[in-house]
Amino acid sequence: MGGYYHSVTLDKDKCKGCTNCIKRCPTEAIRVREGKARIIAERCIDCGECIRVCPYHAKIAVTDPLSSIYKFTYRIALPAPALYGQFKDVSDIDYILSALKSLGFNHVYEVAKGADYNTAFVKEWLKNKGIKKPQISSACPAIVRLIQVRFPELIENIVPIESPMEIAAQLARQEFYQKFGAREEDIGVFFITPCAAKMTSIKKPIGKEKSTVDGAISILDIYGALNSKIGDLQEIEGLQRASAYGVGWANSSGECAALSVERYLAVDGIQNVIHVLEEIENNKFPDLDFFEGLACVGGCVGGPLTFENGFVAKNRIKTLTDEMDKYSLTQNEFNAAKNSIRWEFTEDIQPKPVMKLDDDLTLAVQKMEKMERIFNSLPGLDCGSCGSPNCRTLAEDIVQGEASELDCVFKLRERVKELAEEMIELAEKIPTGRHGEDDSK
């Protein structure tokens, strides 16, 4: 499939052209050109780091407005478990789910329940002999995209099982159909999302042709309405069905705890994940069975579209799950789902090696050498004033014809100085009239 879709976009009017986002981007996907940030679509993985770091809120995540749900006759909400950590003094998840339903939905199905199913499927998958170790969780879409762009060699390690969201969407549709007999096309399923990457994975899914989810609504967008509804509920419906394990997915290492794999590593924060993926690529952890990497600090509770402080939310999730049942799916539930939904990826994950200099090795080497020469002539301050994240990337941009040496303010100053000196030199050479007379005598 050609073309790119990204939830993360730029609000040009708000952008001041500063260097915050270009320096934070984990795939070097942003440049400042003509005073405004520009996102390189091929490289962006929708992790949302730039949204978090932009002081002018010029980086935004495009999600669906709540009003868009009315395109459908019947509407189902799929809340991410991270939603449960957003509200103060709520000890019963059913309050949150009932309030959510009252915002215009006919049904609410927990993604945490989808996580319970995902866990059961992944447990089965991990029994396969001959799969590459460590298996890498596919739960965080930003990390899957990071692997496509920066670690294509690790694609084969990615667990090819559908995300809790996709599983929940299918089961929710099924359930709704069985209850009310509504037509497939009349049912709209909306994910309540803590992040931009999930929006992208609905519009441009990986591992399948089309998502079962129709849209994503940002937690931030409905937080206010939801918070006041919770304090003003007429009736509480019993909608909460997921286990403590499923809800625990909101926090980093929640997935590993649910899987109860022995030799696992759970890492949160995209820079930390990159560091560990580098080491996995070097075979530094030959005994590791499972790796869970989450782009946001703390896990999904730290998502860029959440309202509450991620650390506070993480504690709330922990308090909630401590008091919940730690059960697994029944064999009947598991079998029924296994035979009725799509739970495995149907398409291979494709590498996107966009970081390479050229398809032709000889040309790439020439470019690399030119890049080295240019890099050595740059000041090495990595100030970002040129619009590229650091001196090395500027050298690369110059070689690729995307920038010029005089974009560097220090290079420009040198050049101005040279020109000024030349001017003075020239000025001294201009013969004044008297001078001329003196000379001729």
- 265/305 with CB nearer other proteins: 265
DSSP per position, 279-348:
HHHTT--TT--EEEEESSTTSGGG-TT--S-HHHHHHHHHHHHHTS------HHHHHHHHHHS--B-SSP
List strand residue ranges (DSSP E) for 87-145, in order: 107-108, 135-136
CA angle 199, 342, 290 (to 5 degrees): 75
Q: Distance between CA atoms of 2 and 325, rounded to whole angstroms? A: 45
Q: How far is the CB of 410 from other proteins (least distance, A)?
A: 24
Residue 282 binds to other proteins (criterion: CB under 8 A): yes
Q: Pick from 364, 406, 416, 424: which binds other proteins (CB under 8 A)? A: 364
Residue 287 binds to other proteins (criterion: CB under 8 A): no
Stretch that binds other proteins, among 3-11, 307-315, 319-327, 357-365 (CB under 8 A): 357-365
Q: How far is the CB of 395 from other proteins (least distance, A)?
A: 11
How many residues does this entry show for the chain? 441
Cβ contact 94:240 at 8 Å: yes
Q: How far is the CB of 354 from other proteins (least distance, A)?
A: 10
Helix (H) or strand (E) holding 20: helix 20-24
Q: How far is the CB of 153 from other proteins (least distance, A)?
A: 4
Residues 262-281 binding other proteins (CB under 8 A) are: 278, 281
Residues 6+ away with beta carbon under 8 Å from 404:
398
Q: How far is the CB of 250 from other proteins (least distance, A)?
A: 32
Stretch that binds other proteins, among 3-11, 37-45, 364-372, 400-408 (CB under 8 A): 364-372
Residue 40 binds to other proteins (criterion: CB under 8 A): no
Residues 142-161 binding other proteins (CB under 8 A) are: 152-153
**Maximum CA extent, the chain:** 115
Residue 369 binds to other proteins (criterion: CB under 8 A): yes
Residue 432 binds to other proteins (criterion: CB under 8 A): no
Residues 189-248 binding other proteins (CB under 8 A) are: none
Closest CA to 146 of 294, 319, 257: 294
Residues 6+ away with beta carbon under 8 Å from 158:
135, 136, 137, 138, 144, 147, 349
Residue 284 binds to other proteins (criterion: CB under 8 A): yes
State the residues that interact with other proteins by CB under 8 A.
152-153, 278, 281-284, 351, 353, 355-359, 361-362, 364-365, 368-369
